[in-house]
Amino acid sequence: MSVISLFFHLAALLLVVSSAFAHAPDDDIVDVPEVSIVGTRPVAASSQQFIPDKELLLQPQGRPAQVLRLIPGFIAVEHSGGAGKADQYFLRGFDADHGTDVAFFSDGMPINLRSHAHGQGYTDLNFIIPETIEGIDVHKGSYLPEYGDFATAGAVNFRTRETVKEGVVQSAGGQFDTQRHLLMFSPTKEKVRTLFAAEGYYTNGPFQNDNRYFRGNLLGKVTMNPSGRDELSITGTFHKSQWNGSGEIPLRAVTDGTVDRFGSIDPSEGGRTARSTAKLNYHYDTLSGGRFFANAYAQYYTFDLYSNFTFFRSDPVNGDGFQQSDRRVIYGGDIGYQQEGKILDMPSVATVGVQSRVDKTHVRLGPQFRRNSLGTTVDTDVLEASYSPFLKAEVQPTSWMKFVGGVRSELFTFDVRNRCETCAEQPAGRTTSWLILPKANLILGPWASTELFINYGEGFHSNDARSAVAQAASPLARSKNYEAGLRSKPWGPDGIELIATAWQLDLQSELVFRGDGGTTEIRGASRRRGVEVAARGQVWGPLYVNGSVTYTKAEFRNGDAIPLAPEVTAYGAVLLTWPEGLTSQLQATYLGVRPLIEDRSANAPSWLNFDLSERYQLPVTLPYGRMEAFLFVQNLFNTKWEQATFFFQSQLRNEGAPRNDIHFVPGSPRMVMGGIAWYF
């Protein structure tokens, strides 16, 4: 069955469902007063989660990706010895690199970048201003039809606010010449709701080669209800940053005193990037319980990265520095219809939609010395598009049973053109690929305040377009996800929630494009299995806790270890609201030992970090507004730890031959940052 034929079959099915739901045209219409209802968000899996803004605002300021540790089993670390570049993400036995196996969204707009110059699915979250986020939707696995590319281990959607109750002007400063400034306010809050925010951030970091990281962000959002039954939201953002990096330093150079732990082999590393986005979200609610929705977005993105991982292995004179450049325009959106009603007297919801996305990209790779180009290795134009119809059905046969399932289809087109006639032969050409992905979720309960979940879904991540046209392997790597779990509130709806999940993820043989070398690598089939347990909620009065522990076994099907896949991760937080306007939070993050190579002969060490956050409502009388002071202490006990860690071959200038070694990015030492905010 073709993708187009499948979509028309899905649309026909929805028409049958919606006709069963629809009211007769002469039914009486009764106006009822508006009623506010507060309840638990419906979930389809035990691992599904919504993280509210109150938890986000107590995270130390600096890296927006730090909020991801609130997700059980999710760890994000710096990748290049200095902020600015996308983080390295760990989830469910994946070293997802910069985002290959985790799909990220902002109000439904995809953030991952396909066929990126540095890595497939590259996800830089530094354009997000944390204070503008009202919450984060988290969906692990591939169980929902509305999520597609990169949603292998899971999907994360940042939801921005419509307004803020209070405007805020905030300034903060700390060690390593760190400073951050924020302005956020809502001029209008009723018929037309607006939100404007601006952020400036600078730090030199703890490195001997000053980070000189500058980040600037702007956001504007307008939300309105043109007819009373619909809602229109328009959002625009602008991000620009630049930085110096200290790179991944070899352990042997630190051990023998060649460089300091926070030193650098090549101090010219670093980069710059910019991103502009515009998105439109619209929905219209019908009188018969239906909803029409349409969303569109466009992005313009630039990126230049200067790196040197192997130092003098290939070029003993100029070194092995290389530049990766990416220029792209992205546009796309989705359109669909949702209908609520009953089928055979069973409450039901059916949704049909189609998503599309186009990436028009120019990527370049070439050697460089102190950020001066020495030539070109890769110079390619990529036109990549996807078209994704999906159907989702929710049916509740009884009060204790609910089914959520559906199907999603993916059609990808790849068009790659080589712009460099003098370069070594590079992949070029056109190809297409498609998948059909079933999804099924069964929810049972609640019994004794406990719900049980059984889930199955097939997902995928796309591979780099240059690999796709080379036809060395399938351009779409399919995954099969299985999960069973429970959620329980044994002490009542306002008490602690307990969550336990067991899962398995099988990933077929895939082709990975290595942007650092412009080459491809074929990897075999893999299996990941794991268990997650979590607890969160109010213990008593002002005391709130949030904690999780995960265990994962990740192997290729031949028994080899999957490099960088962590076995154990953990997170814990205790939040206490004092009676005198003080809020305190102590957080602990743990990343366990992980193998660096397939034979497990080299491993990255485990680490445990603590952070302290304090916010205090100042007892001062102002003509307008209120004042708040805050303090963040990262790495409270000054732990010596490593962030991104790898095992590969490099050669220093004074060495006669390349050597295999551990290369790492040092974790930040204790860092204190404080500031003051005026809410008006």
Question: Scanning the structure block, which residue is given the tokens 């990096």?
Answer: 245
Above pLDDT 90, what percent of the chain? Answer: 82
Taking all residues of the chain, what is their mean pLDDT, rounded to a whole number? 90
Q: Is the pLDDT of residue 240 over 80?
A: yes
pLDDT at 517: 55
**Contact criterion met (CB below 8 Å) for 505 and 473:** no
Q: Is the pLDDT of residue 7 over 50?
A: no
**Contact criterion met (CB below 8 Å) for 408 and 433:** no
Closest C-alpha to 481, from 455, 463, 502: 455
Q: Which of 451-455, 473-477, 528-532 is least confident?
A: 473-477
Digit-coded pLDDT (tens) for 107-151: 999 999 999 999 999 999 999 999 999 999 999 999 999 999 999
Closest C-alpha to 264, from 241, 246, 282: 246
The burial class, CB within 10 Å (0-12 / 13-18 / 19+), for 345 is exposed
pLDDT at 421: 87
Q: Is the pLDDT of residue 498 over 90?
A: yes
**Measuring CA to CA, how many Å separate 269 from each of 198, 273, 637?**
28, 14, 30
Residue 32 maps to a domain: no
CA–CA gap between residue 613 and residue 351 (Å, rounded):
42
Residue 236 maps to a domain: yes
H helix or E strand, kind and range, residue 447: strand 429-447
- How many folded domains does the chain comprise? 1
Q: Where are the beta strands (DSSP E) in 286-345?
A: 290-307, 322-343
**Contact criterion met (CB below 8 Å) for 622 and 652:** no
Digit-coded pLDDT (tens) for 624-655: 899 999 999 999 999 999 999 999 999 999 99
Residue 503 maps to a domain: yes
Q: Is the pLDDT of residue 522 over 80?
A: no
**Contact criterion met (CB below 8 Å) for 83 and 243:** yes
Spatial neighbors of 39 by CB under 8 A, at least 6 apart, are: none
pLDDT at 624: 87
Stretch 528-542: mean pLDDT, rounded? 94
What residues make up the domain containing 502? 3-22+40-679
Residue 109 maps to a domain: yes
pLDDT at 55: 86
Q: Which of 70-84, 423-437, 593-607 is least confident?
A: 70-84
Q: Is the pLDDT of residue 437 over 70?
A: yes
**More confident of the two residues 29 and 52:** 52
Question: In the structure, what pLDDT confidence band is assigned to residue 11 with cuts at 50, 70 and 90?
Answer: very low
One-letter amino acid of 192: V
Question: In the structure, what pLDDT confidence band is assigned to residue 15 with cuts at 50, 70 and 90?
Answer: very low
SS3 per residue for 561-619: ECCCCCCEEEEEEEEEECCCCEEEEEEEEEECCEECCCCCCCEECCEEEEEEEEEEECC
Q: Which of 9-23, 271-285, 388-402, 562-576 is least confident?
A: 9-23
Q: Is the pLDDT of residue 231 over 50?
A: yes
Query: DSSP labels for 481-539?
Result: EEEEEEEE-TT-TTS-EEEEEEEEEEE--EEEEETTTTEEEEE--EEEEEEEEEEEEEE
Residue 34 maps to a domain: no
Strands 178-185 and 519-523: unpaired
Residue 580 maps to a domain: yes
pLDDT at 523: 75
Question: In the structure, what pLDDT confidence band is assigned to residue 250 with cuts at 50, 70 and 90?
Answer: very high
Question: Which pTM was predicted?
Answer: 0.92
Spatial neighbors of 219 by CB under 8 A, at least 6 apart, are: 129, 132, 160, 195, 196, 197, 198, 235, 236, 237
CA–CA gap between residue 379 and residue 329 (Å, rounded):
17
**Contact criterion met (CB below 8 Å) for 443 and 404:** yes
Digit-coded pLDDT (tens) for 574-619: 999 998 899 999 999 999 999 999 999 999 999 999 999 999 999 9
Residue 33 maps to a domain: no
pLDDT at 394: 97
Q: Which of 355-364, 418-427, 487-496 is least confident?
A: 418-427
Question: In the structure, what pLDDT confidence band is assigned to residue 10 with cuts at 50, 70 and 90?
Answer: very low
Stretch 212-241: mean pLDDT, rounded? 97
**Contact criterion met (CB below 8 Å) for 423 and 378:** yes
The burial class, CB within 10 Å (0-12 / 13-18 / 19+), for 1 is exposed
Which CATH number goes with the domain that contains 120? 2.40.170.20
**Measuring CA to CA, how many Å separate 507 from each of 93, 472, 500?**
12, 17, 23
Above pLDDT 70, what percent of the chain? Answer: 91
* Beta-carbon-side half-sphere exposure of residue 242 (alpha carbons within 13 Å): 2
Strands 75-77 and 270-285: unpaired
Question: In the structure, what pLDDT confidence band is assigned to residue 519 with cuts at 50, 70 and 90?
Answer: low
CA–CA gap between residue 482 and residue 505 (Å, rounded):
6
* Beta-carbon-side half-sphere exposure of residue 461 (alpha carbons within 13 Å): 33
Stretch 39-58: mean pLDDT, rounded? 82
Digit-coded pLDDT (tens) for 140-164: 999 999 999 999 999 999 999 999 9
Residue 35 maps to a domain: no
C-alpha torsion angle, residues 112, 113, 115, 120 (rounded to 10): -40
pLDDT at 244: 95
Spatial neighbors of 231 by CB under 8 A, at least 6 apart, are: 223, 224, 225, 281, 282, 283
